[in-house]
Structure 1
Amino acid sequence: MPQVTVWFDGQCPLCRREIAVMRRLDRRGAIAFVDVSGVDAAGGAISCPIDAASLLARFHAQEDGRMLSGAAAFAAMWRAIPLLRPLGLMARNRVILRVLERLYLVFLKVRPRLQRGLTRWEARRQRP
């Protein structure tokens, strides 16, 4: 049974690649990955603990019933994967988590450019 739930944007090429890597690393199935851009298996809207716009704006995860956002959410995901667990445990230190959060905020500023670049690259790859 998954111990961590991660919400991600399946329409984002950057997010899809990152989640694909995390799924390969999550050999124990400790993480439930939820694509908030789509519909569930029954064809209905995905159930989200908070509004979808907030989930799409920042990375979110739930660990032990607590909703986490940003660097704290990444750390929770890392703790669920044995290979990355040491990084996740280090992020429990407030100073380290604060540094990671600042780095995440910088990433959020460049993320739109990365997404556009990946989208263009994927489009070029798919052309005959």
Structure 2
Amino acid sequence: MNNPALTIYFDGACAFCRAEVAALRRRDRGGALAFIDIATPGFADFPTGTDMTALQAQLHAVTRDGQVLRGLDSMHAAYTLVGLGWMVLPLRVRMLRPPLEWAYVQFARHRYRISRLLGLSTPAPAPQCDGNVCRPGSPWLKG
């Protein structure tokens, strides 16, 4: 994973987020994705034009060429890269985009509560990553 196609900035304090990262990691057989946990103490590797408030508000990702993606665009790119583009196909339907954006913002805002409701409220394991980047084979990402 020397030069991933997409680097995803995720909230490792969110159990649902950790579960999604673990699922993406399992599907990412080609090493197209890298993951950076913004909840790691001392995190300061902000993508261009972002800060912690922005990263906490919605998922962010950075493409290999430096384009910063936010929210649903991040999800669409990640799922497509691991062969699950069909799952996010509704994100490409113009009429569906506004209600899906609204739903995503609500979900992101309440992700800790939703994690608990889904029974995913277990504490985050200590990261086993190289700095802030979790690479393939990291036991922390295996779920």
TM-score between both structures, scaled by the size of structure 1: 0.73
1:53 aligns to what? 53
User: RMSD of the alignment, in Å?
Assistant: 2.4
User: Map of 1:12-51 to 2, 5 A cutoff?
Assistant: 12-39=14-41, 45-49=43-47, 50-51=50-51
Gaps of 5+ in 2: 124-143
2:72 aligns to what? 71
2:132 aligns to what? none
Change (3 A) 1:77 1:103: same
How many residues in Structure 1 have an aligned counterpart in Structure 2? 116
- Alpha-carbon distance in 1 for matches of 2:66, 2:93: 20
2:95 aligned counterpart, secondary structure: helix
Change (3 A) 1:90 1:65: farther
Quote the offset at 1:4 in angstroms. Answer: 0.8
- Alpha-carbon distance in 2 for matches of 1:102, 1:45: 28
Q: Percent identity?
A: 37
User: Map of 1:79-90 to 2, 5 A cutoff?
Assistant: 79-82=80-83, 84-88=84-88
**Structure possessing the higher radius of gyration over alpha carbons:** 1
Quote the offset at 1:77 in angstroms. Answer: 1.1
TM-score between both structures, scaled by the size of structure 2: 0.67
Q: Name the one with the larger helix percent.
A: 1
Conserved 8 A contact 1:79-1:89: no
2:30 aligned counterpart, secondary structure: coil
User: Map of 1:86-125 to 2, 5 A cutoff?
Assistant: 86-88=86-88, 91-117=91-117, 118-119=120-121, 122=122
